[in-house]
Amino acid sequence: MNSRILLSSPHMGENERKYVKKAFDDNWIAPLGENVDKFEESIAEYVGAEGGAAALSSGTAAIHLALKMLNVGRDDIVFAPTFTFIASVNPILYQGAKPVFIDSEPDTWNMSPRALKRALVDAERNNQLPKAIIVVNLYGQMAKYDEIIALTSKYNIPIIEDAAESLGSTYKGKQSGNFGNIGIFSFNGNKIITTSGGGALVSSDQSFVKKSRFLATQARDEAPYYQHSEIGYNYRLSNISAGIGRGQMEVLPDRVEKRRTIFERYKNEFSAMPSIEMMPEVAEMMPNRWLSTLTFNDITNINEVVDVISKFNEKNIETRALWKPLHLQPLFIDTPVYFHEETSSVAEKLFNSGLCLPSGSNMSDVQQEYVINVFKNIVS
């Protein structure tokens, strides 16, 4: 291949250009405007968020505001998965709070209800129950929310659903973003739809959405002059970026269908290879397959995965290791972690044996065939 095959590149169309052009024609380049309003409406309608949506500058900003609205502050405890991108957890530190990490479970690769239960029992015994729990839907796969919500409801602990990677995924027919008190999405350049950079906060509680918009626009009080009674942030999405988002939302179902088709082709092509296991698909869940991911049964060391990635690079193909567990990151070296099995970590096993393959919805059949052939040659 002369041009590099990327992991997940933006997929633009004409609708995006139309809405951005209108903003230019109207000279509505200011941070807010019609595109922002319509983009928020389309997100809320698609997801079924009765309280609405707030378009923000990033998914990280959305998590930060969610923690603020749940009154997470200094020295509070927040449970979060260890197997995720660091942006899921950094906002905990912004608030001066302390994370406690929960391992993955094998079926979904997401937060382990078994590990969560042990962590909650210990927290109650030590009178240190978490102020909130962040649950992440990795690579578009939903977590086991029935089990997780049953546990958190017992202790009346609110959930922030980090759906940054799972827009368009469903669990028992219900759209991602609806399983926590607050849900968040990311529209970063590599996500299933993009606004270049951006995110959103959704909730069934309209007060959360309204308060997030207030905090995201510097927390300006209602007054005939600039007055501020609490700390605010510059977190709102621009009218230009929201124009891209409006066009992207109109083709979201097609993007989900294409990514799932790409995943299924990989799965079928690799089905005769006993050393390969694609990310599972659990009954009653429909992941958007944002990234096509797999594990090697005969690899147990991240250095071997890095070697595979290097071989793909030689063939002009971008691949990526799975997320490095946060409890192994230098920043969190002393942070408590609860494993799925009491003495061994599912997240560590996944990291040491997993790979992400090119999955963009604008990848051609010829490009995917090339990736498949290179993969088979490398593995053999």
Whether 291 and 359 have beta carbons less than 8 Å apart is answered as yes
User: Which CATH entry fits the domain spanning 14-249: 3.40.50.150, 3.40.50.2030, 3.40.50.970, 3.40.640.10?
Assistant: 3.40.640.10
Spell out the domain ranges in the chain. 14-249, 253-379
Other beta carbons within 10 angstroms of residue 344's beta carbon come to 10
Q: What is the pLDDT of residue 31?
A: 79
Whether 89 and 326 have beta carbons less than 8 Å apart is answered as yes
C-alpha separations of 41 from 30, 86, 200, 217, 260 in Å: 19, 29, 11, 19, 26
Tell me the mean pLDDT in the region 145-156: 97
Q: What is the pLDDT of residue 30?
A: 75
H/E/C letters for each residue in the chain? Answer: CCCCECCCCCCCCHHHHHHHHHHHHCCCCCCCCHHHHHHHHHHHHHHCCCCCEEEECCHHHHHHHHHHHCCCCCCCEEEEECCCCHHHCHHHHHCCCEEEEECECCCCCCECHHHHHHHHHHHHHCCCCCCEEEEECHHHCCCCHHHHHHHHHHHCCCEEEECCCCCCCEECCEECCCCCCEEEEECCCCCCCCCCCCEEEECCCHHHHHHHHHHHECCECCCCCCCECCCCCECECCHHHHHHHHHHHCCHHHHHHHHHHHHHHHHHHHCCCCCEEECCCCCCEECCCCCEEEEECCCCCHHHHHHHHHHHHHCCECCEECCCCHHHCHHHCCCCEECCECCECHHHHHHCCEEEECCCCCCCHHHHHHHHHHHHHHHC
> CA nearest 255: which of 285, 290, 282?
290
Class of domain 253-379: alpha beta
pLDDT digits (tens, 9 = 90+) for 214-245: 999 999 999 999 999 999 999 999 999 999 99
> CA nearest 91: which of 233, 241, 245?
233
- Give 79's pLDDT tier (boundaries 50, 70, 90): very high
Strands 77-81 and 132-136 turn out to be parallel
- Give 372's pLDDT tier (boundaries 50, 70, 90): very high
pLDDT digits (tens, 9 = 90+) for 258-309: 999 999 999 999 999 999 999 999 999 999 999 999 999 999 999 999 999 9
Q: What is the pLDDT of residue 26?
A: 87
